Amino acid sequence: MAQEQIEEYLETIYDLENRDGSAKTTAIAHCLNVAPASVTEALKNLSERGLVRYEPYRGATLTGDGRTIATTIKRRHRLLEVFLTDILHINREKVHDEACRMEHTISGETEDALCRLLEAPARCPHGSPISPCNREVGNCTECTAATEWATQVSPRNRNVIPITDLGTDQQGRIAFIRGDQKVVQRLSDLGLTLGTSVAVTRRTPREGPVEVFVRRTKLAIDHTIAEKIFVDAPGAEKE
């Protein structure tokens, strides 16, 4: 399989798995507009590469390596959508297809440069969340200061999620804050610093405030602020 085809399959499985728990052959075929028999062969190939877990008649789920690739492609796609919309002023109805064509060709260096240029956007023009970079930095100021990525910043060896993805009574340790030093300082004043354990105690619907317990204190945090705080994903160690 060509690399672009591999990435398209992994990205599709990523979307279906997040929505349905697993990716059925028929659902993948519908999304990619290919025959179910072609999907079956592709899933066998991806399974042999260690990128998916595939069970006939049950569907496929991503392995740690498969999810890493899918997350990277999804992040590049959504950054490109922001770039095409906000910088190049392309019609929003066209940016998805344009980003689909571009996402497979840009390098990690270009991806990082896009993120810095766009000031680390949290969401794409369609409202979907943009995952943080896969670099071992604590916040976006550290990212901006590191210009030679290959030698100065190593990849993050664990998965992180925004605290808005935690369920009630779940907790995690703060690993990354999306934003510059002003955002970091604002959160620090609330006791929300790197390495601190934080637990979600209550969530309100429709992107309302998120109530958390941190340093023996309950705080109600605006959703737009909460989604800037990333914690190590519970039980989601990379394979």
Query: Contact, 155 vs 146, CB < 8 A?
Result: no
Q: Domain check: are 91 and 194 in the same one?
A: no
Structure tokens at 81: 């959508």
What does the buried/exposed string (b/e) look like for 45-67 if buried means 16 or more CB atoms within 10 Å of the residue's CB? bbbeeebbbbeeeebbbbbeebb
CATH of the domain at 110: 1.10.60.10
Domain boundary among 104, 131, 158: 131
Give the Cα separation of 84 and 91 in Å (integer): 8
Domain count for the chain, please give it.
Answer: 3
Q: Domain check: are 23 and 88 in the same one?
A: no
Give the Cα separation of 238 and 78 in Å (integer): 23
The whole-number pLDDT of residue 137 equals: 85
The whole-number pLDDT of residue 239 equals: 44
Start-to-end C-alpha separation, the chain: 23
Give the Cα separation of 234 and 28 in Å (integer): 28
Domain boundary among 131, 157, 172: 131
The whole-number pLDDT of residue 40 equals: 94
The whole-number pLDDT of residue 114 equals: 93
CATH of the domain at 222: 2.30.30.90
The whole-number pLDDT of residue 151 equals: 46
The whole-number pLDDT of residue 135 equals: 82
Q: Domain check: are 124 and 137 in the same one?
A: no
Q: What counts of helices (H) and strands (E) characterise the chain?
A: 10, 8
From first to last of its 239 residues, the chain has per-residue pLDDT tens of 899 999 999 999 999 998 898 899 999 999 999 999 999 999 999 999 999 999 888 889 999 899 999 999 999 999 999 999 999 999 999 999 999 999 999 998 899 889 989 999 999 999 999 999 888 888 888 877 765 544 456 777 778 899 988 888 888 999 999 988 888 999 999 999 999 999 999 877 777 889 999 988 999 999 888 989 999 887 654 44
Give whole-number Cα distances, 123 to 74, 76, 119, 159, 197, in Å. 12, 12, 12, 19, 25
Helices (H), the chain: 3-20, 25-32, 36-48, 64-82, 92-102, 108-117, 140-145, 149-152, 181-189, 223-226
Q: Domain check: are 56 and 138 in the same one?
A: no
The whole-number pLDDT of residue 233 equals: 80
Range of the domain at 45: 3-62
Domain boundary among 131, 156, 172: 131
Q: What is the pTM of this model?
A: 0.85
Give whole-number Cα distances, 88 to 83, 92, 158, 226, in Å. 7, 11, 34, 29
The whole-number pLDDT of residue 74 equals: 95
Q: Domain check: are 118 and 136 in the same one?
A: no
Q: Domain check: are 221 and 159 in the same one?
A: yes
